[in-house]
Structure formats: structure tokens, C-alpha cells
Structure 1
Amino acid sequence: MTSAIDIAAIANILQEAAAKEILPRFRNLGAGDVRMKSEAIDLVTEADEAAERLIKARMAEVSPDALFVGEESVAADPALLSRLAGADLAIVVDPIDGTFNYAAGMPLFGVMAAVVAKGETVAGIIYDPMGNDWVIAEKGSGSWLCKADGSQERLATVPSVPLESLVGCASTGFYSPENRRIVMGNMAKVRIATSYRCAAHEYRAFAAGHFHFLTYQKLMPWDHLAGTLIAQEAGAYAARFDGSPYLPHHVDGGLLLASDKDCWDMLRREVFTV
């Protein structure tokens, strides 16, 4: 084990939250169950909040000394986020990643958790409630698809290809309007650049070898810690746009993940330079 927390226990907690709080509300949300946070595309639902309450309570039983950093907990107490960098042990949770999809009744959302020990991400889990399976990584142990029947499959990123053949996901919503125009114009150089509006499934697909790259501008820890570790353990190269490592306390600076360092350099130079 790379942490003091039982990873299998976390996986079971995410599954329980989905079964009790998320799936029963899917396509059953009332008008008052969905609220806007910062803007119309930034939503929170009753399911997000109920799932996080359950996960937090269960995590307190599994590891009472760990700092709990959940997306909705930070929304209620922003100062909580600043404690992450100095925590000996922390669990970082996104109760529903892809809330926009979830609220729209689209079955593309996930539940994510990362374990951070002394400023380093040491484990990541992405649970798919619709498929009832997990992608799990512990630092130094590879990335694995774990199915409900107990079977496991090791994941690996796909080898790089020429620029014009690259397929990936690119989130451009947090660029300035001028930089967005530049980047979206540059993306004509690759074969396909899309967005699932769900980092959980983008990371899962990337780690399983279905994409060559992912990129994000806004770096909230619950959105990217688990997925970045999973991608790296599957063989990917990941760094912020300035080339520095992505760490749990980072919330800006952009993030680019690619099949390998050469692919990363090519994308940074040809597409994501503004």
C-alpha cells in the first residue's frame, strides 16, 4: 500500500454513494433539485450534496485523521482548500463529476476520489455508476480497470501518432476569449479534439488507450488529481503548460497530458501555445 487508507474501502464507499444517493435521483431531479453555482454551466444538484455527505461520513469511519476535501465542502468553506498542501493525509472527492451531464439526464458522469499524502497524490479512483466499475491507480503500481465481478485489466495509454492524426479531449471554457480563438484555431491541426464535459470519463478513456491527449485550464484538485495519477500510471506524460509537475495544491497554470513527452512537446508547441 502507498497510503494509510484502504483503497478498496474507498472504492466501496464511492459505489455505495452512487447506489444510495446518485442513481436513484438520475433523471428524477425536480426543479428545485438543481442550482446554479458560478454560472449556467456550473451546476450542483441534491445528488452531489447528498453523495458527498455520505462519502464524508464513511471516510471518517475508515480514516478519521484524514483531511476531507470535497467539491461541495469547499463550496461551503473555501478556506478548506488551502489546507490540502500541508496535510499529512487527505482524501479529495468529487461526488459527481459531470454534473451538467447528470442534470441533463445524460449517462456520462463519475465519482472520483484521490488520496494525497504530504503534498503528493498517491492513489486515485474513478467509479462509473452506470457501468459499475472502477479505474484505480496507486503510485508505482499501474492503472487498473476493476470490475464488479472481481476481474481486473491493466490499462495502458496508446502510442503517439503524427500531429494530424491525434485524437483527444480539450477543455477550452476557461481561456480568455482571445486565447480561446487561437487555441481552437490551432486544434484544426489535430484529427479530433472533443469534450465529454466529464473529466472522469475523459481520464478513463485516455488511460485505456482511446485518446492521445487531454488538456484542461482550470485545475481544481477534485477534478484532476485522481485522473492525472491514473493516466501517469498508465504511461502518460503530464505537466502544466510551463512544463512543471502538476501538484495537489495547484489550481491554475493549465494541464496537458499526452501519450509521451515528445507528443506533449509537439502539442504544446503547435496547438496550446498562446
Structure 2
Amino acid sequence: MTDSLPMPISAPITPAQRTSILNLLRRAARAEILPRFRALDPSEISEKTGRQDLVTAADKGAEAMIARGLQRMYPHALIVGEEAVAEHPEIRDKIGDAELAFTIDPVDGTWNYAHGLATFGIILSATRFGVPVFGMIYDPIMDDVVIAETGGPAEMFLPKRRLTRRLGVSPGGQLSELQGFIPFYLLPEEKRSEVGAALPLFERSHTLRCSAHEFRLFAQGSVDFHFSARLTPWDHAAGALIAKCAGGHVAMLDGSEYNAKLRDGVLLCASNKETWERIRDAFAFLLEPPAEG
């Protein structure tokens, strides 16, 4: 548990701190997440906003453990955990003004986790005034992590094997050649029919119900784009930075920069600017205001 992570080009968080954060995630996974996987009692699963939005005892326990550890390491940092925000929404309002904030998604892909699917992960980011500067996406099942910092590459680190490899996005291409992730069920209802009509333009579009693994696959070049709606900083801040550091073109659908304080809009990550523009053009109707009833 003391294996050191590689030094990035720019280090707003020191190598020792990065190692401590990773070790914190690994401990939380061993203590709170993995023992409950496929062993949850029904009483340990509940709905937040509906049947598709679940929370489990593992989410709550892991977030509490990670938040305590981060607060000890960074006493003055703002901690923005998904489950804490569910109970105290005002926490999220502070992220754009915080010199240093950490976002935590303790079990990203909770629906998968609660139903026994091994496609889930822990997402953590550090932001400065809402701008992501550090991102870490940890896979508890495989015990490996994808990590990036501003100015550095995106890398996968396998602690047990002490192996690091640099990640890079796909070459991109024409729409008919592209594969990517589109969370259809998270799109505004009034736009879904138009989005559905556009899906045959692509070679393949789907969703894993897990931003952690979707962003990891994009950074590894396995898919060509990642489309995010209903912005939440614990889901998207780390992934946006990792996608950019892997060589992708990352921007809001209107061309503006992503910031973790944003609540509305669509975040689009694509292999390069040309590919990004083709996808943006295909979904330009999402930028139009809804028709008045």
C-alpha cells in the first residue's frame, strides 16, 4: 500500500499526497465497498430521486471514510461528496468559489453495484475555483487507477504490479465510424426523440451506467466520444480532466470551457477537435431552447 505514483509534468498535488489519496480509496474499497458487493441486504439499498437513482450502505460508508481522510490531509479544503450533497445541497453551491475542493463519487455506477454488476468505481477530483486540476478514477475490482493532473499525461497505474502506462485517445473519424457513450435516459425528455433519430449516424452508441468506466475507456482509446448530460461534479470533473490529458478535445456543447460549478448543459469529450465538431453539429438541436407549450 506504499507504492508511489509517477510524477506528472505539473504537480499541484505532490507525489506523496497522490499516493496517500490512492491508498485512502483502496482502504475505503476494502472496508466498505467490496465486502458488501453481491451481499447487500435489501434494507441497505434505497432510492434518492427515483428507481434509477439508488444509494447503498456502501456509498454512504465509503464516502464518509474518504471525506474524513481528505479533511485530515487538507483541513481547509471544501469536500463535495455526492451523498453529503444529497442531504445538504448548499455544499455544492460553494465549489466555484473554493480555492481547493475535492469531489467524491464513492460508488459511481450504484445501480450496477446494487444489482451485482462489477462495472462501478470511485471517482475523485480536486478543483480550483471549479476548474479540475486533479482526477483519479479507481476500479476496486481490478485494484487499478486512472489518474491525471493539469499539465501532465493521463496514466493507468497498477499498484500491485507497480506498472504504469500512458493513455491516449482514439484517432476519431467520420460519424459513421464513431463509437461512444450517450446517456439517453438522462437527456431532457423533450429532446429524446431527436437524439434517438440521430443515433443511427454513429457506428455504435450505448451506456455503461457508470461514468467511471466510460471515461476510462475513452481515455484508453476504446471509444471515440463521451457525452454527458445532467452535470454533477462528482461524476464529471475528474473524467473531463483525464479525457483532456489523454489528448481529447473537451468542451461544453456550446464551445465553452467545462467547470465543476456548472449544473446545466452538455459536456462533450471527443478524440480531437474535428471529431468533436462533427458530433456537436449532429446534436446542435440540443442548444436550442425548448419550444413553448
TM-score range, shorter chain: over 0.9
Which of 16, 20, 32 is the matching residue for 1:9? 20
Post-superposition Cα deviations, 1:54-73, rounded to whole Å, max 9, x if no partner, equal 00111122111111110001
- For residues 176 and 31 of structure 1, the distance between their equivalents in structure 2, rounded to whole angstroms, comes to 31
**Aligned partners of 1:215 and 1:256 also within 8 Å:** yes
Post-superposition Cα deviations, 1:150-204, rounded to whole Å, max 9, x if no partner, equal 2100000010122101000111223233311111110101000010000000000
- Where does residue 127 of structure 2 map in the other structure? 116
Which amino acid letter does the alignment assign opposite residue 105 of structure 1? G
Which of 184, 192, 195 is the matching residue for 1:183? 195
- For residues 273 and 190 of structure 1, the distance between their equivalents in structure 2, rounded to whole angstroms, comes to 17
**Aligned partners of 2:174 and 2:278 also within 8 Å:** no
Secondary structure of the structure 1 residue equivalent to 2:97: coil
Which amino acid letter does the alignment assign opposite residue 200 of structure 2? A
- For residues 271 and 57 of structure 1, the distance between their equivalents in structure 2, rounded to whole angstroms, comes to 41
Post-superposition Cα deviations, 1:85-125, rounded to whole Å, max 9, x if no partner, equal 11111111000000000000000000010011233211000
- Where does residue 221 of structure 1 map in the other structure? 233
Secondary structure of the structure 2 residue equivalent to 1:181: helix
1:1-274 alignment runs, 5 A limit? 1-3=11-13, 6-148=17-159, 149-271=161-283, 273-274=285-286
- Normalised to the residue count of structure 2, the TM-score between the two structures is 0.91
- For residues 106 and 136 of structure 1, the distance between their equivalents in structure 2, rounded to whole angstroms, comes to 23
Which amino acid letter does the alignment assign opposite residue 237 of structure 1? H
Structure 2 unaligned residues grouped into runs of 5+: 1-10, 287-293
- For residues 52 and 225 of structure 2, the distance between their equivalents in structure 1, rounded to whole angstroms, comes to 24
Which amino acid letter does the alignment assign opposite residue 235 of structure 1? G
Secondary structure of the structure 1 residue equivalent to 2:50: coil
Alignment RMSD, CA only?
A: 1.2
Secondary structure of the structure 1 residue equivalent to 2:96: coil
- For residues 203 and 129 of structure 2, the distance between their equivalents in structure 1, rounded to whole angstroms, comes to 40
- For residues 13 and 129 of structure 2, the distance between their equivalents in structure 1, rounded to whole angstroms, comes to 10
- For residues 37 and 234 of structure 2, the distance between their equivalents in structure 1, rounded to whole angstroms, comes to 21
Post-superposition Cα deviations, 1:126-149, rounded to whole Å, max 9, x if no partner, equal 000011000000111110000022
Once the two structures are aligned, what percentage of the paired residues are identical?
A: 38
Q: What is the aligned residue count?
A: 274
Post-superposition Cα deviations, 1:7-35, rounded to whole Å, max 9, x if no partner, equal 22111111111011000000010011000
1:272 is displaced (CA, Å) by 5.2
